[in-house]
Structure 1
């Protein structure tokens, strides 16, 4: 079932990318996981909206429970008003599907992100993000979901960046057991089209 869902998401990404302008492909690998994401301007779907949509998956194939996390989300973004450096921030929602060998479910997570670039050193950026869903907005076999992360990136070319960061994705089963979907350092790249 997970392979079918991954295939469906890949086809959806290709369909969106066909007419894409200013979309970004983001891939990263950690010790036990792979993450792929695709995001771009929310105005593609809702004109006159400053924001960003994103679609992504985290796959942890070499563990005993073969965990799969997929999401689709939207953020309203803009200048955060920092005087001395470029600080952009966003707030929004993320629909999350979590699949395991024996349990599945999901959540509607609330969260946001921020990215800073210091004037004169715009090629270097720092980003942080976080999403959280308490029991009341989780469904299926899960009672809680959260994802937090941070990264430092370097813009190698105008349309290509490399980065290193930390990510923690955690879900709680109805039984009270916590499952870590991803936790640790990762490296990746972002390609803009």
Structure 2
């Protein structure tokens, strides 16, 4: 019986309809961020970590997005809506937040050059521990070295937290360079 269950599990593993993974790493002089994402059907699950060595701040996140793609002769558009759970240590304060938002990526004329952006916001009602609000946004200009497989980019990111003591702390703000590899 166990043998049959094992064989059924292995067969189910090989029959997954659409499964794609990606690794996105970006950095500047003070900050590094890495995000691993996996897509299954019309959903994307992601796990990320950002470390700012200049301020000794860091943030970990885990997200779920409903995502989709539209491709025409004039453009390719990828977009997703959903949320991220953030756990961050900023100014020696701990913040737990549920940010809602989304992301998009546009490649006009199906060219290798494109741009993308994202925004996640957590108001008071879904920000806990030592925090009142939490938000992250970013934009980037990217170049596909290999179509839908390897991108290099230049971007800008801002991640901020408003703490219970009314301090508004910047976890990270500034330009960065990065690479995203899909496999």
TM-score bracket for the superposition, by shorter chain length:
0.7 to 0.9
Alignment check: 8 A CA contact 2:83 2:101 kept: yes
Give the number of aligned pairs.
165
Between 75-84 and 181-190, report the one with greater CA deviation: 75-84
Contact conserved, 1:67 with 1:101, CA < 8 A, in 2?
yes
1:165 to 137, 155, 159: 155
Alignment match of 1:32 (pick from 20, 30, 33)? 30
How far 1:61 moved relative to its partner?
1.6
Select the structure that is richer in strand: 2
Query: Hey, what's the Cα distance between the residues in 1 that align with 2:172 and 2:29?
Result: 9
Query: CA RMSD of the aligned region, Å?
Result: 2.0
- Structure 1 position 113 matched with structure 2 position 103: yes
1:70-109 to 2 correspondence within 5 Å?
70-79=60-69, 84-100=74-90, 102-109=92-99
Compared CA separation, residues 115 and 185, structure 1 to 2 (3 A): same
Mark the runs of 5 or more structure 2 residues left unpaired by the alignment.
1-18
Rg (Cα) greater in structure? 2
* Equivalence for 1:142: 131
SS in 2 for 1:114: strand
Select 1:129's aligned residue among 111, 118, 124: 118
1:30 Cα offset (Å): 2.0
Distance 1:138 1:120 in 2: 39
Relative to the length of structure 1, the TM-score reads 0.79
Which residue pairs with 1:46 in the alignment?
A: none
Partner residue of 1:154?
143
| Alignment pair present for 1:56 and 2:45 | no
C-alpha deviation, 1:184, in angstroms: 0.8
- Structure 1 unpaired stretches of 5+: 1-20, 44-48
